[in-house]
Amino acid sequence: MPRKTATARRAEVLDETLTQIRALGMAAVRVADVAEASGVSPALIIYHFGTKERLLSEALVHACAQDLSTLDSIVTGPGSPAARLLAALDWYSPTGPARGWTIWIDAWSVAIRDRALAKVLADLQRRWTDAIAAVIDDGVAAGVFHTADSAAAAARLTSFLDGLAVRSVVHKARLPRRELRSWLINQLTCELSVDATVLPNA
């Protein structure tokens, strides 16, 4: 049986770290538990990641990587700017398939006292908002959206969905998908002065 590459082993450790985060919460994860579940020594994890904090940060980046790749394919793919924007926000929303919101919200909590993790979160958030802003710019160029600051509009739209995610995950107040779509349409029409008839399934 061929030996696993360092890259494959690293991915396994990050996957197991995410499993531990989901089960225990980010603050309670121990390097020893991740090592045991991954079949490696704690010393090996420290050798590759340096600290537990860096391990957690890299696990978060690992968790978001595929979703960010999918988001990029949505916003640069075919379809009108309105269709691509709504598809991207549907992907981002708490009822969509993107990211484990439980992990993301857990990370926000830990980042209040962890400046390094806070920076990682800010970098990841910027990548999401930059992608949303890019498709808003396409809509402005096409005369469909109207805003003087696409980055600020993207930040407000994603913050709106962040808030709904907290309500859904923490307070267990999960909105039906149809109702969330209605709220999102209302937010888009106000934020971008867009005619709701150009939005798919509005």
The CA distance from 131 to 152, in Å, is 12
Q: What is the pLDDT of residues 86-142, one digit of tens each?
A: 999 988 887 655 457 888 889 999 999 989 899 999 999 999 999 999 999 999 999
Query: What was the pLDDT predicted at 21?
Result: 92
Residue 201's pLDDT is 67
What the chain holds in terms of domains, given with CATH numbers, is 6-198 (1.10.357.10)
Average pLDDT over residues 28-35: 94
Kindly report, residue by residue over 132-191, the tens digit of the pLDDT. Answer: 999 999 999 999 999 999 999 999 999 999 998 888 877 776 777 788 888 989 999 999
State the average pLDDT over residues 9-28.
Answer: 91
pLDDT at 1: 46
pLDDT tier at 198, thresholds 50, 70, 90? confident
What is the pLDDT, as a whole number, of residue 2? Answer: 56
> Rounded distance, CA 145 to CA 192, Å?
5
Report which of residues 59 and 98 the model is more confident about: 59
